[in-house]
Amino acid sequence: MKQNNVKTFFKRLSKKNPSPTTELDYKNNFTLLIAVVLSAQMTDVGVNKVTKKLFSIADTPEKIIKMGESKVKSIIKSINFFHTKARNIIKLSKILIKSFKSQVPKTRQELETLPGVGRKTANVILSVAFNQATIAVDTHIFRVSNRTKIALGKKPIDVELGLQKVVPKQYKKNAHHLLILHGRYICKARNPECNKCVVNDLCLFKNKNFNLKKNAAV
């Protein structure tokens, strides 16, 4: 996609959604971190269902540790890979207390030292908690970027670096959520709603779907 079109692309998405943000529920930076860790291979809706109870009991590293791994497991058992995630939540809580004075660190390097936190999770935290212009490439962003040809790549890191190069400066802070929400509700994996898309004339996807009964390949 040409750079002028990229700017128009984000201008239109921003006009439609001026204040995009995460759909994960959280109380503070720590609960945001826990919610994002739980969200791996899960929907935000599914995560919010369990964190409502979890965060009502424990919203700090100290309270999570006091709760214990077994109790955490019992609350998050509907989450995919809940055994591993519960273990990671306890471990990262201990590290936060010992190494970061119970505070969520503000750098990617420090965040990635925490169990269950990779580059994508770190980018989400940096974006949402610390208002940094990072782009966490999930399945939605990966799909939208490749379909529209804003940033092509076979791996998430390739798409992330491509987006960082082409997204205009004024849209970088919101680009992460603009693309996620567009992918979640409009540019869906199956049956993308191209008839409702505000950028369908800029999109270079060959199999555009203006008939909702017709499936379109990713």
Q: What is the CATH architecture of 3-19+135-196?
A: Orthogonal Bundle (1.10)
Using DSSP, state whether 143 is helix, strand or coil. Answer: helix
Contacts of residue 179, Cβ cutoff 8 Å, sequence gap at least 6: 13, 135, 140, 141, 144, 145, 163
pLDDT > 90? residue 154: yes
Using DSSP, state whether 46 is helix, strand or coil. Answer: helix
Contacts of residue 174, Cβ cutoff 8 Å, sequence gap at least 6: 14, 20
Whether the Cβ atoms of residue 116 and residue 85 lie closer than 8 Å to each other? yes
pLDDT tens digits along 35-63: 999 999 999 999 999 999 999 999 999 99
Separation CA 25–CA 10 (nearest Å) = 26
pTM for the whole thing? 0.90
pLDDT tens digits along 86-142: 999 999 999 999 999 999 999 999 999 999 999 999 999 999 999 999 999 999 999
Whether the Cβ atoms of residue 30 and residue 59 lie closer than 8 Å to each other? yes
Catalytic residues: 120, 138
CATH topology of domain 29-128: Endonuclease III; domain 1 (1.10.340)
Torsions phi, psi of 26, nearest 5?
A: -160, 160
How far lies 112's CA from each of 31, 48, 104, 135, 142, in Å?
17, 23, 11, 15, 21
Separation CA 91–CA 78 (nearest Å) = 20
Where exactly are the structural domains of the chain? 3-19+135-196, 29-128
